[in-house]
């Protein structure tokens, strides 16, 4: 409801800072996206960042690590499924082993014993799987609250959510608390990165977009992206 009320304001803001032409071909909706980014930034500065900072201040690092491990462990099942869908059964098996080991010996995932046992953590989602299947990025999209994405990844997101043990947890009250907790925890993990972004960039929006595309490409190719060659003239 709040979102709907804000939309016209966002459109106005977007029109106000529409690009001067000759923008990035990957980002045809730049004007709109910049509006959403400004909104995210304001929401972050007003609520999320202070909460994340407070969380980081009051929680000892060992406890934060356990919380991080707990949430990350829940992701491993779906990561494994995506590895299987991408034709990497060995990685899929490793992800499921991680889940089995960490959920038992790691006490419900609070300890990442699997990493110590050479079962390395992976990073996969349905957007990456679709990319491996040949689906292109599509226009860059800045999602409210969630940040940078592509059209392809946004389309895949609802399926990722359906496979997410936190978002599908019941009762609803538990789901909501877990979701909020995870959101704060992940934001707290990004505090250093967001400060770097702020300090390193001349135009945060452009810097973030470029980082996002490079990072995403790197994830899609599991850290080994093919070298980009200059086009033949």
Partner 1 sequence: MKRILAIAALSLAAAASQAQITPPDELVKNVMLDIQGIIVTDKDLRSGDREKTIGLIEQKALPHFNQVGMTALAVGVHWRKATPEQKQRLVEEFRTLILRTYASSLSAFGDQKFEFRPVKLAPEQDDATVQVRVLQSGSQPILLEYDMQKTPGGWKCYDVRIAGISLVVNYRTEFGIIVRDKGIDGLIDALATKNKSLEGRGSAGK
Q: Which residues bind partner 1 (CB under 8 A)?
A: 20, 22, 24, 53, 56, 65, 68-69, 72-73, 112, 115, 120-123, 191-192, 195-196, 199-203, 206-207, 210-211, 214-215, 217-219, 223, 225
Between residues 110 and 159, which has the closer beta carbon with respect to partner 1? 110
Between residues 20 and 46, which has the closer beta carbon with respect to partner 1? 20
Between residues 87 and 215, which has the closer beta carbon with respect to partner 1? 215
Whole-Å CA distances, 110 to 62, 67, 97, 174, 203 = 10, 6, 16, 18, 38
Buried b (16+ CB within 10 A) or exposed e, 73-85: bbbbbbbbbbbbb
Q: At closest approach, how far in Å is the CB of 38 from partner 1?
A: 18
Give the length of the chain. Answer: 233
Q: What are phi and psi of 125, to 5 degrees?
A: -155, 175
CA 133, 164, 205: angle at the middle one, nearest 5? 70
Question: Which of helix, strand or coil describes residue 140?
Answer: strand
**Could you tell me the two tokens for 182?**
């995870």
Q: At closest approach, how far in Å is the CB of 54 from partner 1?
A: 11
Between residues 144 and 181, which has the closer beta carbon with respect to partner 1? 181
């Amino acid at each position: 409801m709040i979102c709907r009320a804000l939309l016209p304001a966002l459109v106005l803001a977007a029109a106000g800072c529409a690009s001067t032409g000759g923008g990035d071909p990957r980002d045809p909706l730049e004007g709109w996206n910049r509006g959403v980014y400004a909104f995210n930034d304001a929401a972050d500065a007003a609520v999320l960042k202070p909460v994340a900072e407070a969380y980081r201040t009051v929680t000892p690092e060992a406890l934060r690590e356990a919380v991080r491990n707990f949430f990350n462990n829940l992701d491993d099942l779906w990561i494994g499924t995506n590895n299987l869908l991408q034709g990497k059964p060995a990685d899929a098996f490793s992800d499921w082993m991680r889940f089995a080991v960490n959920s038992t010996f790691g006490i419900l995932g609070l300890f990442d014993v699997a990493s110590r046992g050479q079962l390395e953590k992976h990073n996969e989602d349905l957007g990456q799987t679709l990319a491996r299947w040949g689906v292109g990025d599509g226009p860059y999209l800045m999602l409210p609250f969630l940040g940078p994405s592509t059209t392809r990844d946004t389309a895949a997101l609802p399926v990722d959510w359906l496979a997410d043990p936190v978002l599908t947890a019941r009762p609803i009250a538990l789901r909501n608390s877990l979701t909020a907790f995870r959101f704060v925890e992940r934001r707290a993990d990004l505090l250093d990165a967001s400060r770097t972004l702020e300090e390193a960039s001349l135009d945060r929006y452009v810097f973030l977009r470029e980082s996002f595309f490079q990072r995403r490409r790197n994830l899609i190719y599991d850290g080994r992206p093919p070298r980009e060659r200059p086009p033949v003239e």
